[in-house]
Structure 1
């Protein structure tokens, strides 16, 4: 393990050996080498984790910027109704999900440090386009969709960041490290919503450009910090072929499906929660500006709790098991979705009562789903390295180091694929809500029923695949069907 990439030295087994390496480049990295890890490797990993979190954090904020912009877009000025806004925020979700595939292999191809710098700087493009558009509201809906699509580049940052950090940390710490990295990035969603709240509360709902200007500065900070303090790893080889090999295992597809339920819920509700609340506030008699303020006051709470919960989910999975925590999470999400269904059905029967206990029930139901989805995100991602660590032990033709490399590369590839599929869940949530509000009932009840049913399916799949036959644990390393709880 190289302990300082900006020196021409490397540490292996505690002995310093001259090795000519470029600055910020680590030719060989073995996180499982305990002696080297304690001798300085953990400090390098921590430094890279910190700036990875910051860059991913800004990426998430830009990815979700249109969930904030729609609060600055009264129908009378922009001419976009509720259904149009749900589709508007679904577009960057879709683009971000698709980009996670190439972003997964980018760190191995270009280097984790190099790609983090680039991915932070490229975020300025959608920010500048959004700033211009919000200052000139006369553009067509198609133009808004195209600019919103540009914000999707922020969604790709997650995949490259997670793949990179997965390579830096040993198996025993991956649940916590990946949870912390993802959770710190996820906080970008509530933070930009909080900034939107501050802008609306201080200068009104007509100056969305201020939000864009703030994040232009933050993109620069993330890029400079990554350039100065992050490193490239020489033995990182995730590629599309590795992803193809990872997808030969049944459990890889199961993980991707379950991630639709956890991360798809988190990002989908993050983009839609403000819209749902604003619709309810308007139905309760608020003026557009007042509805925007009331919505902004609560919209950031759910994503914030979900982000904080992610590393907790990873830590619980490290101790109790990814399969068990995931099962418990989906069971609780089913109950939370039931709260939404009940509240929405009652609201359909008594229109205009959203300002009473029904609105409170909706808020509490959503916050519970955010919190639980964060826990589930951490637990599902803990399962990924566990799957390939177990499988690697059955590869008798490889030595210990080669097994660790194989496991790391397979895990990195699946992290990107699962992240992409999970992001598509966010698209689904917004499209289902759009269809629900476009129905004759003009409510979210149908959408909430769909969400509840999906969580029941996820719960059953988790139990069948990872918990039904715990006796298979003994043969997990030899079998493509792996038990990881």
Structure 2
């Protein structure tokens, strides 16, 4: 592998098994994966910062529950929008270079929050600082696009699941830090959380500079972006990703507020519980990718949405009965299932576009290259739409508590959405071919099970 100045790799062919196993490909990819996970982990923590900060905001801040739900929705909105340009930044600047830059950008919201967050601050100032943390949400798109280029199709489910899962754990990590600070220093010291993360951001950027690589083979392709945007599978997968990742990030940001408003928990009691769901959902994500590698992402995704609907039914019952003992296992199950579905849906994306390339008559490396081209372009769009699902969840909770003083109406709407996702997954990716009167199969773009293995 020849390099240019600044850790650039000129030749990269992970689909070549000899290159991968004997030529050092696996080792280089793994090294980049490790430090990509670290940077993305810190990014997710900063993106989730306000799910923790609202626990420190007592009556002196004069922000009501509806205002807090809107406050935690703002980073999700900005992060979702930023995922599109962050996807293209990898090819423009290089995966290593952009990892360094995107990590350093996290200093802006953390340093700003350390000056702004204090009783008496205006709500508009809080909203602005919360919006700045959206840069942490963009990290996911660039990280996933970068790692997608390093790994062969046969291992993408595991690699992308591990990369995303390690990042997702950042949500639970900052909530654990918040719990520790509230339990020791008290709810009047939110700056301690920021003091923990500012040096970690510098460490992540430094390690990326020392140990990551850029790939010259990754180039921005405006045509690929246009083709991906025109392909219906991009938007179908975006809808499914709203159901999985949108649920994960939306619930992660809202969990503490739901516990306080639905069940009257104190900030400390809420902090004791909020990290559990995001932690389990993050840890299970690579398992979802591995199961998708083995059994097919569409099959795992279908079963997962059915299970999410069942878990939501439990949560609705618990919400109506005001039973925290029933609510917690049901809601935590939703976190676990959303994490599992995150892994399986993201595995589907490269598989779908690889299948489409083969349907055009391409084989071998030509099919793989075509699949990488379109899947890489589509990931930014799919990730952005999926993140915006988190905005929808927090706004749904806001309206639900405003109008009925309960989260039940919001959960009912989520249950309906999971039902829609189940139907779409079956109809588009798993439905058996229709047959002619003579018993011959009719092959149509959506009427086949050709994508069952993706």
Normalization by structure 1: what TM-score? 0.89
1:63 aligns with 2:47: yes
Identify the residue that residue 339 of structure 1 maps to in structure 2.
Answer: 314
Q: Whole-Å Cα distance in 2 between the matches of residues 81 and 312 of structure 1?
A: 39
Q: Whole-Å Cα distance in 2 between the matches of residues 476 and 389 of structure 1?
A: 18
Q: Whole-Å Cα distance in 1 between the matches of residues 47 and 138 of structure 2?
A: 9
C-alpha displacement of 1:23? 3.7
Change (3 A) 1:145 1:478: closer
Identify the residue that residue 342 of structure 2 maps to in structure 1.
Answer: 377
1:442 aligns with 2:417: no
Q: Whole-Å Cα distance in 2 between the matches of residues 106 and 468 of structure 1?
A: 37
Identify the residue that residue 294 of structure 1 maps to in structure 2.
Answer: 269
C-alpha displacement of 1:404? 2.4
Change (3 A) 1:35 1:442: same
Deviation track 1:316-338 (CA, whole Å, cap 9, x = no partner) reads 00011111100110000001110
Identify the residue that residue 43 of structure 1 maps to in structure 2.
Answer: 27
Q: Whole-Å Cα distance in 2 between the matches of residues 265 and 100 of structure 1?
A: 17
Contact 1:238/1:412 (CA < 8 Å) preserved in 2?
Answer: no
Aligned residues, how many?
446
Q: Whole-Å Cα distance in 1 between the matches of residues 443 and 342 of structure 2?
A: 23
- Local SS of the residue matching 2:15: coil
RMSD between aligned residues: 1.9
1:53 aligns with 2:37: yes
Contact 1:306/1:371 (CA < 8 Å) preserved in 2?
Answer: yes
1:469 aligns with 2:437: no
Q: Whole-Å Cα distance in 2 between the matches of residues 169 and 263 of structure 1?
A: 22
1:140 aligns with 2:122: yes
Identify the residue that residue 483 of structure 1 maps to in structure 2.
Answer: 451
Q: Whole-Å Cα distance in 1 between the matches of residues 64 and 254 of structure 2?
A: 14
Contact 1:261/1:455 (CA < 8 Å) preserved in 2?
Answer: yes
Identify the residue that residue 208 of structure 1 maps to in structure 2.
Answer: 190
Contact 2:305/2:421 (CA < 8 Å) preserved in 1?
Answer: yes
Which residue among 296, 308, 329 is the counterpart of 2:283? 308
Which residue among 159, 162, 166 is the counterpart of 1:177? 159
Identify the residue that residue 97 of structure 2 maps to in structure 1.
Answer: 114
Which residue among 397, 417, 430 is the counterpart of 1:454? 417
Contact 1:470/1:483 (CA < 8 Å) preserved in 2?
Answer: no
Q: Whole-Å Cα distance in 1 between the matches of residues 219 and 446 of structure 2?
A: 24
Q: Whole-Å Cα distance in 2 between the matches of residues 28 and 471 of structure 1?
A: 45
Q: Whole-Å Cα distance in 2 between the matches of residues 153 and 433 of structure 1?
A: 24
Which residue among 69, 74, 77 is the counterpart of 1:94? 77
Contact 1:268/1:427 (CA < 8 Å) preserved in 2?
Answer: yes
- Local SS of the residue matching 1:187: helix
Contact 1:394/1:478 (CA < 8 Å) preserved in 2?
Answer: no
Contact 1:391/1:479 (CA < 8 Å) preserved in 2?
Answer: no
Identify the residue that residue 16 of structure 1 maps to in structure 2.
Answer: none
C-alpha displacement of 1:235? 0.8
- Local SS of the residue matching 2:4: coil
Which blocks of at least 5 consecutive residues in structure 1 are unaligned?
A: 3-9, 11-19, 348-357
Q: Whole-Å Cα distance in 1 between the matches of residues 392 and 213 of structure 2?
A: 36
Deviation track 1:248-301 (CA, whole Å, cap 9, x = no partner) reads 22222110100000000000000000111122453xxx6xxxx11111111000
C-alpha displacement of 1:240? 4.5
Contact 2:262/2:407 (CA < 8 Å) preserved in 1?
Answer: no
Where do residues 382-421 of structure 1 align in structure 2 (5 Å cutoff)? 382-396=347-361, 400-421=364-385
Q: Whole-Å Cα distance in 2 between the matches of residues 275 and 177 of structure 1?
A: 33
Deviation track 1:446-468 (CA, whole Å, cap 9, x = no partner) reads 11111111111111111111111
Identify the residue that residue 430 of structure 1 maps to in structure 2.
Answer: 394
C-alpha displacement of 1:191? 0.2
Identify the residue that residue 162 of structure 1 maps to in structure 2.
Answer: 144
Contact 2:161/2:287 (CA < 8 Å) preserved in 1?
Answer: yes
Contact 2:36/2:99 (CA < 8 Å) preserved in 1?
Answer: yes
Contact 1:392/1:407 (CA < 8 Å) preserved in 2?
Answer: yes
Change (3 A) 1:409 1:27: same
Deviation track 1:358-391 (CA, whole Å, cap 9, x = no partner) reads 0111111110000000000000011101011112
Q: Whole-Å Cα distance in 1 between the matches of residues 411 and 190 of structure 2?
A: 31
Q: Whole-Å Cα distance in 2 between the matches of residues 21 and 448 of structure 1?
A: 53
Deviation track 1:407-450 (CA, whole Å, cap 9, x = no partner) reads 112111111111000001000000000000000x2111111111
Change (3 A) 1:84 1:256: same
Q: Whole-Å Cα distance in 1 between the matches of residues 304 and 433 of structure 2?
A: 19
Change (3 A) 1:90 1:47: same
